[in-house]
Amino acid sequence: MDVTHLSATDIGVLETFGLLLSALALAALLPLSGPKDPLGWFGQLAAQLAAKAGHPERSKAQQYTAGTLSTLLLILPFWFILSFIPVLAAYPWFFELLILYLCINQGGLAKELLQVAQWLDTEDKNSAKTALAKRVPQSTDNLSATGLSKTAAELAFSIPAINVVGVSLAYFAGGTTFALLIRMLAELTWQWPLQSPRLTLFAVPVHRLMHLLLFIPVLIWRLLLALQAGTLTFGGVFSSRWSLFPGVITGAQVLQRQLGGPQIFNGVKVTRPRVGPSALPDASDILRAVSISRIACGYFIALLACLPLMWMIVSLYK
């Protein structure tokens, strides 16, 4: 075994895995939420810009153009500055770790969803509505306990697909620069939902771009969810219904509960397809959804941890 060869040739690969695994660990142990999360500020800025630039009464071409220019206006300045910080820094690995950590951070999502389930168990729907309203772009004011349970379960099945799987694969493909770009674009798609009547055309450009960029990460995430069912539910894994957010269709099949359904944006009720069986979710299903999502993340992180070990073994015995 030539350990010297491993140290000289493969140290970069091992550092890449080590940096990513460290960022995943930090995001799990030290989640940032609310005003502490810089990408949360970015999302609020995106929502404010959409409120001013999104004009559904204008022509289709004008709305597409407005959406594209708004995306460029929001993404390019921040992305350019943040991407060059590691290049200019004396310790670039530190800033790369920091950027990855912020991109992977889910803001304590699992803890919040477990708290929502507890509130629903005690029939404190107002607290559950307030908590979920901070997480989703649609209105939660008129949601029933079932609607709140659906919203919470959909969050559990959606956010890790991008923050964990999408960011990790983007980091392997193009480093922290590409990972940051994916995370910022994902924030725009979350703040600019296609279901919103004001943004149906305005948000099309960024959603189409993300559909393309996240095709493989979303497919992997759906497979990780489907592995927890008795049989692989390939219908949900390969579904093209992007509008239901990544993982919701497969999650509904694994959970064996109905998800999806109508949403309200600015007082307007918008039809959205229901997916999964007819059984409706309740507070206990939020706990199950969080557990399923955590196990899927565990599978993915375990795979990431095994890859550098396999790389080392192959390199040592070449």
> For residues 47 and 240, what is the distance between their CA atoms, to the nearest angstrom?
26
pLDDT tens digits for range 95-152: 999 999 999 999 899 999 999 999 999 999 999 999 999 999 999 999 999 999 999 9
Local confidence band at 243 (pLDDT 50, 70, 90 cut-offs) = very low
Length of the chain: 318
Least confident piece of the model among 58-62, 138-142, 169-173, 227-231: 227-231
| Residue carrying structure tokens 């359904």 | 261
Query: pTM for this structure?
Result: 0.90
> For residues 248 and 242, what is the distance between their CA atoms, to the nearest angstrom?
9
147 Cβ partners below 8 Å, 6+ apart?
140, 261
pLDDT at 244 over 60: no
Least confident piece of the model among 18-32, 102-116, 206-220, 244-258: 244-258
Least confident piece of the model among 80-94, 109-123, 239-253, 270-284: 239-253
pLDDT tens digits for range 170-187: 999 999 999 999 999 999
> Which pLDDT score is estimated for 264?
92
Residue 195's nearest CA partner among 256, 252, 263, 101 is 263
